[in-house]
Amino acid sequence: MSIPIKRLFVNGFPSLYGGAGTELHHQILVWRKLGMEVHLIPSWDYHGEPLYNEMAGLGVIMHAPGDWSAVQSGDPVLGFCNAEFLNALPEIRRHTRRTVFVNCMTWLFPREREAMEKGEIAMFLYQNEAVRQNVMPVLRQLNESPEICFMTFSPYFHADSFPFIRERDEDFFGCGRISRQDADKFSASTLHIYDAFVAPVMKHGLFLGFDKRSEAKIGRPFDWIQIAHNQREVSQQDFYRHSRIVLQPSDTTENWPRIGFEAMASGSVLIVDNRGGWRQMVQHGKTGWLCDHERDFIYYASKMAYEPSLRNDMAEAARLRGLELGGLEVSMESWKQVFEAMAKLPE
């Protein structure tokens, strides 16, 4: 299939940590594999960004922040869960009508609703089909134009960045959680769960993504739990090297959590909430555990600590599941279909 779209603009800049920025990073790899000319128009100065050199090496064209002058009629401009993109829509649409919004949440931004009413977004893209089916009728009520397109794509996950870890320290049972520091990313019962589950050796926890907001929600972690503000203190790879399980109760409903792919690629078994994107990602009892109550988290964490053979089997099954959901070939075919649809949008 030849690709009718030859170049693509994105409002934003990729990152190594955090859902939308990491998602963008991995999709850029797919687009370049497909021969797409990729332009980035960030909302801030990007020269100090960790991925600046990689983007330059990939041949990605980087423009000055907020400079839309290179955008021409018919060029698609994407915003990856980007509030600045929503605010810039009137200016962008003076150059092209092919505006594309990827909402990585399970809910709608107020400005997203407003843009739908005004017909400022030509295409809505989703990582999760269940989310698309949930929010599309709400948006359609605001604007029934048949020209507005809704699609789901298969996001690529670059598993090479997260090697599978078969051997971990036997002197302790490593467990942890990884997220932004936002209070909603934590369940109020987090410390109770970590305290209550049992293991045959000493437990050692690691919370990657923790600050005063997190502490105000759950309290000060126990001495046996190490805390790190962000990936500059502990890398994601070191987090997964430490963690035999990712024990992650939260108060949010996740859309398509990138940490799920990271954990599956790395061999860390997921013990997560039975809702949102986790339901599509995790096969309960086979590739991880889905929990409805704090008792479930405690039970399955203890089970993983005491049953290493089962844990290792689940880690291997999860690795294959991650490749099935986020592999390169699947994602490339998905993006080809998206680009075909983009080419049919009004210019």
Strand order in the sheet with 269-273: 225-228, 202-208, 172-178, 245-248, 269-273, 288-291
Within-domain flag for 1 = no
Q: What percent of the chain lies above the pLDDT cut of 90?
A: 89
Residue type, 244: R
**76-121 per-position pLDDT tens digit:** 999 998 899 999 999 999 999 999 999 888 889 999 999 999 999 9
Q: Cα–Cα distance between 304 and 56 in angstroms, integer?
A: 43
Angle between helices 294-306 and 308-326 (to 10 degrees): 110
Say if residue 108 is in the same domain as residue 179: no
| Tokens linked to 66 | 């907020």
Helix (H) or strand (E) holding 80: strand 77-80
pLDDT value of position 156: 95
For residue 150, give every residue at least 6 positions away whose Cβ sits within 8 Å of its Cβ, in sequence order, or none: 123, 124, 126, 132, 136, 139
Say if residue 102 is in the same domain as residue 201: no
Give the three-state DSSP class for 154: coil
Quickly tell me which residue has 């940490």 as its tokens. Answer: 259
DSSP state of 16: S
Say if residue 26 is in the same domain as residue 148: yes
Say if residue 130 is in the same domain as residue 171: no
Q: Cα–Cα distance between 86 and 118 in angstroms, integer?
A: 12
Q: How many CB atoms lie within 10 A of CB 57?
A: 9
Give the three-state DSSP class for 228: strand
pLDDT value of position 232: 86
Say if residue 141 is in the same domain as residue 194: no
Q: Specify the number of domains making up the chain.
A: 2
pLDDT value of position 231: 85
Say if residue 146 is in the same domain as residue 181: no
Within-domain flag for 230 = yes
Q: Cα–Cα distance between 215 and 272 in angstroms, integer?
A: 20
Residue pair 65/44 in contact (Cβ under 8 Å)? The answer is yes
pLDDT value of position 81: 86
Residue 258 sits in a domain whose CATH number is: 3.40.50.2000
Say if residue 180 is in the same domain as residue 306: yes
pLDDT tens per residue, the chain (347 residues)? 688 999 999 999 998 766 788 889 999 999 999 999 999 999 889 888 989 999 999 999 999 999 999 999 999 999 998 899 999 999 999 999 999 999 888 889 999 999 999 999 999 999 999 999 999 999 999 999 999 999 999 999 999 989 999 999 999 999 999 998 999 999 999 999 999 999 999 999 999 999 999 999 999 999 999 999 988 899 999 999 999 999 999 999 999 999 999 999 999 999 999 999 999 999 999 999 999 999 999 999 999 999 999 999 999 999 999 999 999 999 999 999 999 999 999 99
Say if residue 129 is in the same domain as residue 241: no
Say if residue 230 is in the same domain as residue 143: no
pLDDT value of position 329: 94
Q: Cα–Cα distance between 108 and 112 in angstroms, integer?
A: 6
Q: Which domain holds residue 145?
A: 7-156+327-342
Say if residue 168 is in the same domain as residue 317: yes
**298-327 per-position pLDDT tens digit:** 999 999 999 999 999 999 999 999 999 999
Number of H helices, E strands in the chain: 13, 13
> Over the range 207-246, which residues count as b (16 or more CB within 10 Å of their CB) and which as e?
bbbbeeebeebbeebeeebbbbeebeebebeebbbbbbbb
Within-domain flag for 2 = no
- Which residue intervals of the chain are DSSP H helices? 19-33, 52-57, 83-92, 110-118, 129-142, 190-196, 212-218, 236-242, 258-266, 277-281, 294-306, 308-326, 328-342
